[in-house]
Structure formats: C-alpha cells, structure tokens
Amino acid sequence: MKKVIVITGASSGFGALTARALAKAGHIVYASMRETKGRNAPQVKEIERYATEHSVDLRPIELDVSSQESCNEAIQEIIEKTGHLDVVIHNAGHMVFGPAEAFTPEQLAELYDVNVLSTQRVNRAALPQLRKQKRGLVVWVSSSSCAGGTPPYLAPYFAAKAGMDALAVVYARELTRWGIETSIIVPGAFTGGTNHFAHAGSPADKARVGEYEAGPIKVSRTMYSKVSPQSCLLMQMSRALRTPSSR
C-alpha cells in the first residue's frame, strides 16, 4: 500500500538514499532539508531530476529541524497536499570529532539540539496527525555507538545519539496505545557515501586538543593524532577482526 513518508536530513547520505529507495518502492516521499533555495538548491534539482527520470513520487520540501515553525509548516503542507501522513523518519543529525574535554558545554548543547531536540520538534508537528489517524510509523536512525561501538574522539556525538535512543524508547511505549509503531534503525559504521564525516564539527578549545595530541604516551598520538573519523572507525574494526573471539 502506498504510504506518505517524510524524511529529515534528506539532502545527502542515508537520507537521500532512503528517500530514493522508498520512492522507487512506490511511496510518496518528501525529502526534507533546510535552505532549499540556498545551499541545498542543487540537491533540490537533483531530487526533481531523479523523480522525473525514474517516474517516482519524490518531492523536496523545506524543513529546518532546528525551527519549530519550519517543522510545523512543512508537516502542514504535506497533510494539506496528501490528506494524511504515514511515516516519519528521523534521519537529520550532526557529528563532531575530537577529544571530549576540548568541546565547550555550548557545543555539546548545540549537538544535543541537532540530534535530539530536532526529533521533538518534528514529533510535535507530526504526531497529532498520526494520533488522529490512529496509525503510523516513527523511525529513528540511531548509531552503532548505542549498540556498544565506541571508538575515541566521538563521545559528544555518541552521547547525543544515546539521548535520542532513550527518547525513542519511551515514545514507543507512549505511542503504541494510538496504534503508532516505532522502529530504531542502527546503520553501523559507514565511512563512505555520506557527508556525515566530511561535515563533522571540531572542538572549540584548540589548546586542549593540542594537549591530547602531544601525549602523555607517544603511541596514543600515533594512533589518534590528526586522524579522521573514518580512519578511527576503520582502525577499531581492524583490531576487532584481528582479535580472536572468546568462547
């Protein structure tokens, strides 16, 4: 059955790939993103090109997860045009890379806003419609960190994703009485095909970053100094593959 689906953060990466896959499966998919008339204008054109070329119902829509007003307007537009909303996919997020101590509290608060509070804004806009229908699905795109994978220098991001997971679990219990289902998706450590790493933030306290890079043990600097998030994850996976499993 054809569903009406909205995906946050669908300008690239998992969001864009998911939007295309669901549209090809025959659903009406709203690929949401901010600045559709600004820096994401090329992505909007690409979505429209893809929809025409593949004869699918894939629609770009302006939705800034950091703004409740923007979330409200986008969801209202979807409902007005389609008459209902079936699936909400929380995909928008932002990651940072660096020693946890070197991030300011303000940076952590901003990261929490993007990865956790954004889902609350979208839910407050969309859930009244899903509850009215007494059906729907809310999908939360989580992180492998919440399943135990925790390489260094990603602590603030992991903490934010853990907060999102906790919120998702409680929402699942509260929404089930309305006939609304919940799924948490853990994609795993993808180091390509996404801008997640390329756009990662960095600590504001550069002096403390320098202290971590300098020591106290040289091997630490060899392993983790000036490495990218991609290589950090790859090193962790490589070590795991070399370690015999315990029985």
* pLDDT tens-digit map of 20-60: 999 999 999 999 999 999 999 999 999 999 999 999 999 99
pLDDT tens, residue by residue, 139-161: 999 887 766 666 788 889 889 99
pLDDT score for 13: 87
The total of other beta-carbon atoms located within 10 Å of residue 240's CB is: 10
Q: What's the alpha-carbon Rg for the chain, to the nearest Å?
A: 20
Q: What is the DSSP letter of 1?
A: -
pLDDT tens, residue by residue, 216-247: 764 343 444 445 555 555 444 444 434 444 33
pLDDT score for 195: 56
Q: Is the pLDDT of residue 88 over 60?
A: yes
Per the annotation, the verdict on 157 as an active-site residue is: yes
pLDDT score for 196: 56
Predicted TM-score (pTM) of this structure? 0.83
- Tally the residues of the chain: 247
pLDDT score for 145: 72
Contact 16, 39 (CB under 8 A): no
**Is 202 or 67 the better-scoring residue by pLDDT?**
67
pLDDT score for 146: 67
Q: How far is CA 225 from its chain centroid? A: 26
Contact 20, 50 (CB under 8 A): yes
Contact 175, 69 (CB under 8 A): no
b/e for 123-158, b at 16 or more Cβ within 10 A? bebbbebbeeeeebbbbbbbbbbbeebebbbbbbbb
| Residue 71 burial (10 A CB sphere; 0-12, 13-18, 19+) | buried
Q: What percent of the chain has pLDDT over 90?
A: 64
Catalytic residue, candidates 30, 157, 171, 212: 157
